[in-house]
Amino acid sequence: MRAELLIPAGFIVLVAPARAVTYLSVEQAQQAIFPGAKFTPDFRKLTDAEVARIEKESDTTAYSREVKCWKVDAGGWFIVDEVIGKHEFITYAVGLDAGGAVQGIEIMDYRETHGGEIRQPSWRAQFHGRKHGEALKLEDDIQNISGATLSCKHVTDGVRRLLTFYDLVLKGR
């Protein structure tokens, strides 16, 4: 079979709205990383001193003072966090096992803009407290994009920050 590329008549150039995908709700991300486990919320408010120390030791920026943690019944932690790139805003979850090692990372929500609004709290606020759980629907309107690679550096940095947070705040609890 020869590969075929079908280009619609007229060579349409689509000016698309900014890309936004919801992958998993909190519950779905929990089950994806720790199947069958039970979770107890244990959100943490960081002090100024803790934020400064975490930022210094992990060489990253903390965007929020509150860390959304859940204790896993069989041991370990489930943490939901957000990172902000130049053009993207990503919500993701990290599972840590009982020894603090990364058990899994799942992207929950990905938002891309072509403007500069991503660093404005008001733009990001519209996604907070939003009802998740729509991710299981067939979403044909969400299209695949083929293009040069977007880096996942910000998520990698975020995970490093959370591991530092674990060492300083959660470890041994």
Partner 1 sequence: MLIRARPLLGTLVEIRAAGGNAASVSRAITAAFDVIAEVHRLMSFHEPDSDVSRLNRLAHREAVQVDAQTWEVLACALELSRGSGGLFDCAIAPRLVRLGYLPRTPGVESGVDASSAHIELLAGHRVRFLKPLAIDLGGIAKGYAVDQAIRRLQNHGIGTACVNAGGDLRVLGDRNWPVLIRLPAAPRRAFLPVTIRQQALATTAHYFTARVENDRVVTPLIDPRTGRCRTENHNVSVAAPSCMLADALTKVVWLSGDAWHPLLARHRARAIVLPGEREGGCAGAA
Which residues here bind partner 1, judged by CB under 8 A?
A: 1-8, 11-16, 18, 21, 23-24, 31-32, 87, 92, 105-107, 110, 112-114, 135-140, 142-152, 155-156
CB of 47 to partner 1, least distance (A): 29
Least Cβ distance, residue 62 to partner 1 (angstroms): 19
CB of 53 to partner 1, least distance (A): 25
Question: Given the complex with partner 1, which of 46 and 82 has the nearer CB atom?
Answer: 82
Judge whether 86 and 153 are in contact, CB under 8 Å: no
For CA atoms 162, 167, 172, 173, give the dihedral sign: negative
Cβ proximity to partner 1, 16 vs 125, nearer residue: 16
The smaller minimum CB distance to partner 1, of residues 46 and 158, is found at: 158
Q: Which is nearer to partner 1, 49 or 148 (CB)?
A: 148
Closest distance to partner 1 from the beta carbon of 106 (Å): 6
CB of 46 to partner 1, least distance (A): 24
**Which of 81, 109, 76 has the alpha carbon at shortest distance from 95?**
76
Give the C-alpha distances (Å, rounded to integers) separating 103 from 21, 27, 77. Answer: 23, 16, 9
Nearer to partner 1, 46 or 60 (CB): 60
Question: CB of 119 within 8 A of CB of 125?
Answer: no
State the DSSP string of 77-90: EEEEEEEE-SSEEE
Strands 44-45 and 88-96: unpaired
The candidate with the shortest Cα–Cα distance to 75, out of 105, 51, 96, 46, is: 96
**Residue whose C-alpha is closest to residue 78's, from 123, 132, 24:** 24
